[in-house]
Amino acid sequence: MTVFAAIVLFLNAVFNIFAWPRFFSRVAKDTRARDAAGKATPFLIVHGVLLAVALVLALVSLVAGVLLLLV
């Protein structure tokens, strides 16, 4: 069961590392991302926060998966 949990954590990390940055690049190019003056809108800021949280969760999942296999 421990190996299964580690694999799930690794898959979660891989998904977040590959999916979210690609998604954010599309968000950054969206017309809603910046106002007329070029300032970041709440749309871009919220998605930036979501990206940061997803990458932190990926790191935590990766570390937890490694720890599960080592213990």
Q: Which residue has the tokens 């709440």?
A: 42
pLDDT average, residue stretch 50-60: 97
Residue 63 · residue 9 · CB < 8 Å: no
For the stretch 4-54, pLDDT in tens is: 999 999 999 999 999 999 999 999 999 999 999 999 999 999 999 999 999
Which pLDDT band holds residue 71 (cuts at 50, 70, 90)? confident
Q: Which of 22, 29, 15 has its CA nearest to residue 57?
A: 15
pLDDT at 36: 96
> How far apart (Å, rounded) are the C-alpha atoms in residues 32 and 1?
45
Contact 62, 13 (CB under 8 A): yes
Q: Where are the domains of the chain?
A: 2-70
Residue 53: HSE in the Cβ half-sphere, 13 Å Cα cutoff = 6
